[in-house]
A and B are shown apart, each in its own frame.
Chain A
Amino acid sequence: MSSETTSSEAMSSETCEIEACESKFCQLKAKERIGTINPIFTCQPAGAQFVSIGIKDCIGIVHGGQGCVMFVRLLISQHLKESFELASSSVHEDGAVFGATGRVEQGIDVLLERYPHVRVIPIITTCSTEIIGDDCDGVVNKLEEELLPVKYGDRDVHLLVIKTPSFVGSMVSGYDIAVRDFVKKFARKTEPNGKLNLITGWVNPGDVKELKHLLAEMDIDATVLFEIEDFDSPVMPDGSAVSHGNTTIEDLQDTANALGTIALNRYEGGKAAQFLQKKFKLPTIIGPTPIGIRNTDTFLRNLKEMTGKPIPPSLVKERGIAIDALADLTHMFLADKKVAIYGNPDLVIGLAEFCLDLEMKPVLLLLGDDNSSYGDDPRIKAIQDGVDYPMEIVTNADFWELERRIKDGEIELDLILGHSKGRFVSIDYSIPMVRVGFPTYDRAGMYRHPVVGYGGATWLAEQMANALFTDMEYKKNKEWLLNVW
């Protein structure tokens, strides 16, 4: 339904009004209030920081106040129960007044001296340093001419600037920009490598594991951006484990030599895929987010198309196991359940599509930023064309869009799907909720489980069913239904 082969389609993220939609049942509209009551998204630098921890031997330096790093590190740590290294240029008052490029220069030097393994330092800008107009490109040029050859001549060090002013876009566009900028910085055409570029978007370690499993079953060699399986890292007897991503500079360089690119998420990695397509003429497929059976089928078809490799019987069986599990749940328990879904746009759309396949009724989709291209998304258009019951899709949304509708009785929900920041809506209105997306700090181990692939479809459906079952029991609402199931 939503496979989308991009040719020259632009994905503008500039702000403009979303066109009023024609659908009889489903409206796409922007939040009417100007302010935000309980935000669904954070700002761009957070997305760029999440990308930078996915790269091996990379420590990002966030150019701004210290909170822009400290709290994002905490946020990531809340979600993954791990700590990741990110530095700050620690802009204080003098820097804000007189310019703070000196702080970046010093910061890079200190980082390189104290972390001898570091090979890449992205300079991630923020609102403050974008407003004061610090010339970070100038800093990079200067350091590449002076500090790096003079002091670190024996090391292979790369600097790049990722411009992520916090007052533009959201963490989603920050992620998208950062993936593109890393690829742009490193991709070099040499020899064809016969590999596929798989750009996952903002996912969990469990998703990467599932995707790599599908690739392995298809016997496909791929460069996965980003190799974040090890975000789920061990405690080792010798205390040696450190959490970090494992995508190398060489992996990034080699993206130019792939046989093609599949970016699973339109809004998180789509820009990088387009860059590779334009610059290196790589065949490119953007989407669909492989959530649910149908989208996973499409993903496998795309893999097959791009590599010529057949879909093996093992995946037919795996799919069958998933279908078997879903058949136990759909028309008996999930049918007609009204769902609200919020979070990253590709995730929300993928979940909504899957819920529809499960006979559920997504009634409210909340996308937390003002990206003007949502209205052009063929998946959203398809949902608008396809649903036959009242549904709303709200952009630039906050949690008040959800809570107010519940409070005022405009919608009645059976289930909420989304990340932990919305937990109080579920708690206060006694609506069961399945934690999905980023961050999910109030449930254990969510990052370990995939939402993509057949395995993800099964896990998601079972999580939803179990959430409903628990709710039936707490509320003594036909809890006996499960007796002979």
Chain B
Amino acid sequence: MPYHEFDCSTCIPERKKHAVVKGPGEDLTSCLPLGYLNTIPGSISERGCAYCGAKHVIGTPMKDVIHISHGPVGCTYDTWQTKRYISDNNNFQLKYTFATDVKEKHVVFGAEGMLKQNILEAFKAFPDIKRMTIYQTCATALIGDDIDAVAAEVKEELPDVDIFVCNSPGFAGPSQSGGHHKINIAWVNNKVGTFEPEITSDFVINYVGEYNIQGDQEVMLDFFKRMGIQVLSTFTGNGTYDGLRSMHRAHLNVLECARSAEYICDELRVRYGIPRMDIDGFGFEPLSISLRKVGRFFGIEDRAIKIIEEETAKWRPQLDWYKERLRGKKVCLWPGGSKLWHWAHVIQEEMGVEVVSVYTKFGHQGDMEKGVSRCGEGALAIDDPNELEGLEALAKLKPDIIFTGKRPGEVAKKVRVPYLNAHAYHNGPWKGYEGWVRFARDIYNGIYSPIHQLSALDISKDEIPTGRGFLTARMLSDSSLSDDIRNSQVLKPYDGKFDPIAGLRAKTYPDFERLARTASAAATAAE
């Protein structure tokens, strides 16, 4: 077995099976780390908790909802303003967070009464918001509050409101992934099928496992709308509460992040017979294949092809400009879960970089199966990495850049490895054709930062170059390029806007004629 043992982890031998190096000719039967097991205490793992997996990752991107956490104030405070899941309703869900603020007396005497008071206060403060989610935390799970009963009581009193309860305390599972699972199941059990949507297209999907980081969802919705597809709901980025209650009426579940949201797709298939189609919005080729797949499902592949041709013609020269300059650069792809396989092969193929390591904080073995199989030979794959292992890997691999979270990014900075935020992005969105170019642009800017280059100089020992007052990224990146590429009239660097999302929100879309049979079927059904 090609397990990789870190020097820093020899004293915790159980770690040995959590890292592998993919050797020549090896496949997943021999090269797969363990995953999603309990964390070793004191190892300084990067994992979060099941509360954050439920509330922070999946619940909160829902935009027209009061999100209350039932517990002491810290769970709410600490997770608030640490994500970039925007929405087109002025970011209500980013700006407002609610905590019941459980105190000692409530722990002793119960917190159900104060929970009810909290709910009423919150609806009173925001009279236009009629939807609410309530998240259990460690404290209120342990004292055994019956949140469902309180929610039911309020719904009796306030008939125009609807409340969703998610019981996913922080300790419920090895990582945030436990919370993803719990909220998926709670939503399909309690909310799907409780709202009837208006169907306006022959082609109706749920877009699942998409959190609208820096506008990703809005980029993807643009494609779907251009294809005449009605997106009934997005689970959950920029999604509406009632849209998500009507998921049962879709013809197809289009699944993006299979780590965090495959559960609900699988349940929707079992319970409502809605097929699941896994797609990928990252990268020209995966995205093009995805749009064609969705098109083919509905018999409108021509619409997809038109979009693909338009977008590719516009953005390919820009992507290739970066590819020529990123070729052979070494990358550590250290995200949370699904991006390790969403990105592993495609950044290699489309940007020319070499993925020397993948890791996952909360992924399962299935994520590693996909990730490892998409990596090249010699890649180091790590499950539930910890601080020292990360540093050891950086020292050994000497990557040119690392894609990871904000705080681990600060660790990388100290060992002079530039980082990009894999969760929240640097200057996203990174989905879509333009987004993918933006990602390439961000990687380029990180690797060829003149300041980063200066960080290597030890002015006490090294010869200090005095010939220049400045360097540009372009000077650094283009010095080894051929004249043909450097002077290409076809290739060009990214020329889009700082914020590409504002334009999308103002856009209008053509009406596609409804097919006669479905339109009349709908009319018959309505009668």
Binding site for B on A (CB under 8 A): 15, 33-39, 41-46, 59, 61, 64-68, 70-75, 77-78, 81-83, 85-93, 95-96, 103-104, 106-111, 113-115, 126-128, 131-132, 165-168, 170-171, 233, 235-239, 241-243, 370, 400, 404, 420-421, 423-424, 428
Given contacts A66-B175, A71-B79, contact A39 B99 (CB under 8 A): yes
Q: Which of A34, A66, A82 lies in contact with B48, CB distance below 8 A?
A: A66
Is A35 a contact of B171 with CB atoms below 8 Å? no
Is A96 a contact of B107 with CB atoms below 8 Å? no
Measured CA separation A78–B71 after assembly (Å): 24
Measured CA separation A193–B468 after assembly (Å): 53
5 pairs of A and B residues whose beta carbons are closest in the complex = A43-B74, A65-B170, A107-B42, A67-B49, A107-B41
Is B139 a contact of A83 with CB atoms below 8 Å? no
Is A90 a contact of B143 with CB atoms below 8 Å? no
Is A37 a contact of B122 with CB atoms below 8 Å? yes
Give the residues in chain B near A400, CB-CB below 8 Å.
125
The answer to whether the Cβ of B352 comes within 8 Å of any Cβ in the partner chain is: no
- Shortest Cβ gap from B154 to chain A (Å): 13
Give the residues in chain B near A428, CB-CB below 8 Å.
95
Given contacts A66-B170, A89-B41, contact A34 B387 (CB under 8 A): no
Give the residues in chain A near B49, CB-CB below 8 Å.
65-68, 70
Q: Which of A61, A235, A237 lies in contact with B413, CB distance below 8 A?
A: A235
Give the residues in chain A near B11, CB-CB below 8 Å.
110, 113-114
Quick one: closest B residue to A83, CB to CB?
B410
Is A90 a contact of B45 with CB atoms below 8 Å? yes
Given contacts A41-B77, A90-B39, contact A128 B406 (CB under 8 A): no
Q: Which of A37, A65, A104 lies in contact with B96, CB distance below 8 A?
A: A37
Measured CA separation A110–B455 after assembly (Å): 34
Give the residues in chain A near B105, CB-CB below 8 Å.
15
Give the residues in chain A near B107, CB-CB below 8 Å.
127, 131, 167
Is A34 a contact of B121 with CB atoms below 8 Å? yes
- B30-49 interface mask toward A, CB cutoff 8 Å, 1 = contact, 0 = none? 00000000111111111111
Give the residues in chain A near B44, CB-CB below 8 Å.
59, 85-88, 111
Q: Which of A106, A236, A241, A421 lies in contact with B40, CB distance below 8 A?
A: A106
- Shortest Cβ gap from B360 to chain A (Å): 15
- Shortest Cβ gap from B183 to chain A (Å): 15
The answer to whether the Cβ of B167 comes within 8 Å of any Cβ in the partner chain is: no
Known contacts A77-B406, A93-B171, A421-B80, then 19 further A-B pairs from the complex at CB < 8 Å, ordered by chain A residue: A15-B104, A43-B77, A46-B74, A66-B48, A68-B49, A71-B82, A83-B408, A90-B39, A90-B45, A93-B173, A96-B142, A108-B42, A114-B11, A131-B142, A165-B104, A166-B71, A237-B462, A239-B414, A239-B416
Is A43 a contact of B73 with CB atoms below 8 Å? yes
Given contacts A82-B410, A104-B41, contact A68 B142 (CB under 8 A): no
Is A114 a contact of B9 with CB atoms below 8 Å? yes
Which of B12, B51, B407, B416 neighbours the largest number of chain A CB atoms within 10 Å of its CB?
Answer: B407
Is A35 a contact of B98 with CB atoms below 8 Å? yes
The answer to whether the Cβ of B81 comes within 8 Å of any Cβ in the partner chain is: yes
Given contacts A109-B42, A237-B458, A400-B125, contact A39 B103 (CB under 8 A): no
Which residues in chain B, 364-408, are within 8 Å of chain A measured between CB atoms? 387-388, 405-408
Give the residues in chain A near B176, CB-CB below 8 Å.
67
Give the residues in chain B near A15, CB-CB below 8 Å.
103-105
Measured CA separation A238–B462 after assembly (Å): 12
The answer to whether the Cβ of B106 comes within 8 Å of any Cβ in the partner chain is: yes
- Shortest Cβ gap from A60 to chain B (Å): 11
Give the residues in chain A near B79, CB-CB below 8 Å.
67, 71
Quick one: closest B residue to A425, CB to CB?
B95
The answer to whether the Cβ of B101 comes within 8 Å of any Cβ in the partner chain is: yes
Give the residues in chain B near A423, CB-CB below 8 Å.
81
The answer to whether the Cβ of B415 comes within 8 Å of any Cβ in the partner chain is: yes
* Total A-B contacts with CB atoms under 8 angstroms apart: 252
Give the residues in chain A near B8, CB-CB below 8 Å.
114
- Shortest Cβ gap from A43 to chain B (Å): 3
Given contacts A78-B406, A235-B416, A400-B125, contact A91 B99 (CB under 8 A): no
Interchain residue pairs with CB less than 8 A apart (17): A34-B114, A36-B76, A36-B100, A37-B98, A42-B77, A65-B51, A66-B47, A70-B52, A71-B48, A71-B82, A77-B406, A83-B408, A87-B43, A90-B40, A128-B138, A167-B107, A404-B125
Q: Which of B43, B74, B457 lies in contact with A42, CB distance below 8 A?
A: B74
Given contacts A34-B118, A110-B12, A113-B11, contact A96 B138 (CB under 8 A): yes
Is B74 a contact of A166 with CB atoms below 8 Å? yes
Give the residues in chain B near A61, CB-CB below 8 Å.
41-42
Quick one: closest A residue to B105, CB to CB?
A15
The answer to whether the Cβ of B356 comes within 8 Å of any Cβ in the partner chain is: no
Measured CA separation A165–B42 after assembly (Å): 20
Which of A38, A66, A110, A166 neighbours the largest number of chain B CB atoms within 10 Å of its CB?
Answer: A66
Is B41 a contact of A36 with CB atoms below 8 Å? no
The answer to whether the Cβ of B172 comes within 8 Å of any Cβ in the partner chain is: yes
Is A67 a contact of B104 with CB atoms below 8 Å? no
Give the residues in chain A near B125, CB-CB below 8 Å.
37, 400, 404
- Shortest Cβ gap from A429 to chain B (Å): 12
Give the residues in chain A near B114, CB-CB below 8 Å.
34-35
Give the residues in chain B near A241, CB-CB below 8 Å.
414
Given contacts A67-B52, A78-B82, A235-B413, contact A36 B407 (CB under 8 A): no
The answer to whether the Cβ of B456 comes within 8 Å of any Cβ in the partner chain is: yes
Which of A33, A132, A236, A370 neighbours the largest number of chain B CB atoms within 10 Å of its CB?
Answer: A33
Measured CA separation A36–B70 after assembly (Å): 10
- Shortest Cβ gap from B402 to chain A (Å): 13
Is A424 a contact of B95 with CB atoms below 8 Å? yes
Given contacts A43-B73, A88-B45, contact A131 B139 (CB under 8 A): yes
Measured CA separation A93–B172 after assembly (Å): 5
- Shortest Cβ gap from B313 to chain A (Å): 39
- Shortest Cβ gap from B413 to chain A (Å): 6
The answer to whether the Cβ of B411 comes within 8 Å of any Cβ in the partner chain is: yes
Q: Which of A86, A106, A424 lies in contact with B41, CB distance below 8 A?
A: A106
Q: Which of A74, A106, A126, A131 lies in contact with B42, CB distance below 8 A?
A: A106
Measured CA separation A95–B76 after assembly (Å): 23
The answer to whether the Cβ of B190 comes within 8 Å of any Cβ in the partner chain is: no
Which of A39, A59, A109, A115 neighbours the largest number of chain B CB atoms within 10 Å of its CB?
Answer: A39
Give the residues in chain A near B75, CB-CB below 8 Å.
67
- Shortest Cβ gap from A66 to chain B (Å): 5
Quick one: closest B residue to A237, CB to CB?
B458
Is A83 a contact of B42 with CB atoms below 8 Å? no
- Shortest Cβ gap from A231 to chain B (Å): 12
- Shortest Cβ gap from A35 to chain B (Å): 4
Is B99 a contact of A35 with CB atoms below 8 Å? yes
- Shortest Cβ gap from B210 to chain A (Å): 23
Give the residues in chain B near A71, CB-CB below 8 Å.
48, 52, 78-79, 82
Measured CA separation A111–B38 after assembly (Å): 17
Is A75 a contact of B104 with CB atoms below 8 Å? no
Measured CA separation A109–B11 after assembly (Å): 10
Measured CA separation A90–B41 after assembly (Å): 5
The answer to whether the Cβ of B117 comes within 8 Å of any Cβ in the partner chain is: yes
Measured CA separation A36–B411 after assembly (Å): 34
Give the residues in chain B near A242, CB-CB below 8 Å.
414
- B99-129 interface mask toward A, CB cutoff 8 Å, 1 = contact, 0 = none? 1111111110000001001100110010000
Measured CA separation A238–B142 after assembly (Å): 48
Measured CA separation A394–B359 after assembly (Å): 47
Measured CA separation A126–B407 after assembly (Å): 22
Is B455 a contact of A235 with CB atoms below 8 Å? yes
Given contacts A93-B173, A96-B171, A235-B413, contact A110 B143 (CB under 8 A): no
Quick one: closest A residue to B91, CB to CB?
A424
Measured CA separation A481–B188 after assembly (Å): 61
Measured CA separation A233–B411 after assembly (Å): 12
The answer to whether the Cβ of B281 comes within 8 Å of any Cβ in the partner chain is: no
Measured CA separation A71–B53 after assembly (Å): 12
Is A127 a contact of B139 with CB atoms below 8 Å? yes
Is B406 a contact of A41 with CB atoms below 8 Å? no
Give the residues in chain A near B239, CB-CB below 8 Å.
none
Given contacts A65-B49, A113-B11, A421-B77, contact A92 B38 (CB under 8 A): yes
